Structure 1
């Protein structure tokens, strides 16, 4: 009984006994790819002086965010694949939950900072050096990581003392499904959760859409060279935003419809949240951003 009060069972794997080593190999390769691809671009931005601009610093922060998010999930997955029992302590589960969604929401705030940077660069180019100073960039980065962390720590501290009526999660890591463990969900906790969703997801997304609408308006009134430059720098940000928004939406829907979704489908949908963006982001920024792509080609040419 003491074990049940301390540990949770992660019951989201499909035929783990049969495919244990296949799962381990695939996830291990994916994790190495995520670490190497994201770290390579972060290294290029750090090394080359011409990439020490706000836009590229925000890109480096976004990719570093993906590395942290993956490291929060993948090592535990790898251990579970080789373990007889897939369990996690309640406190570790809360930590994984808080870290996961704090980093996901940090991504929205970083994308909002990128949108503001592009807005100033394209719509107010003469004021750019005075508006996007090093101090401004540091403030944006600090807020992007600190705000979600503080808000989710507050949520976790409330949840930590609530009574559990279930000790089994039908997922492979601790996500929104953790809400189904508690006996009672108070109105205050629900309100706080909605506040976080509006504050860290809805507001940044609306701000980004508004900002890019202004950019598009300016581009429509400008010459072809301005439109080309804007498309080259803004398109990757928009694609990453769309991808992140739909993945978070899928995550929320999956938890709400959990009982109606087959186990294999639920597993695939759950993996999307930690798979697509960490692999998708370095490809988008490495290939679509001209300056990063140039240094990336030089790096590969040097080593080949």
Structure 2
């Protein structure tokens, strides 16, 4: 996955520059290069899964067997997608709300930069989250609840160390960091005021990513989706609107509100994780594994 993604990035970098600057397509060339690079990545992964010996035992050639797994995949995939989408859409909603402010061009520019910083950082804890989800699910399936719990502890420690490293870069350089994105002094200075809030967001985002991965690893995606819905749309967005339009904090209020939502999300997910009965989760995983042959036999009958 890493190698195929790296190859796609190389293609995208060269193709984007060529289509944007060497042709008349302009910004449309940048969009086209993104789509082509993503499809290139998909094609590489399909070729790997089709011809690699590592995937030999997991290929399904019987159409009936494929259809029998669709419901199960959707039962885990839809709540997992909801967890991510509900969070991501709330950040996008901030950009829309910033357009209602008097100096909308400045506000949307700065919040777009904040969203870019947050999204670039999120992929690091998201990787830790994926590792935690994989390790927890594997250990529970193997009947090792203590190893699953240890994986959660290790992932949490890494999730605390990583944002400290990011904050030590962001905070001291906050007055010049904005020049990476813009040459406008007003934009750079405004961003410097919001970066302390971004630092808090970085911490909360790392923790919630780890605990979200644990929720997925234990098969409780639906709980994570409900938590995200409440944290962002019952707390985050309303607080953001109040701080922005009532308290007159403008863009800082919008980001402070979304930080409050992320904080609630991280705290509730932490409570769910801390109260997890790992032996019970291991037993549930084993029961799910034992049910599959029975379902297959019933279908054959």
Q: Answer yes or no: same fold by TM over 0.5.
A: no
Q: TM-score, normalised by structure 1?
A: 0.29
> Could you say which structure has the larger radius of gyration?
2
Higher helix share: 2
Could you say which structure has the greater relative contact order, defined with CA pairs below 8 angstroms and 6 or more residues apart? Answer: 1
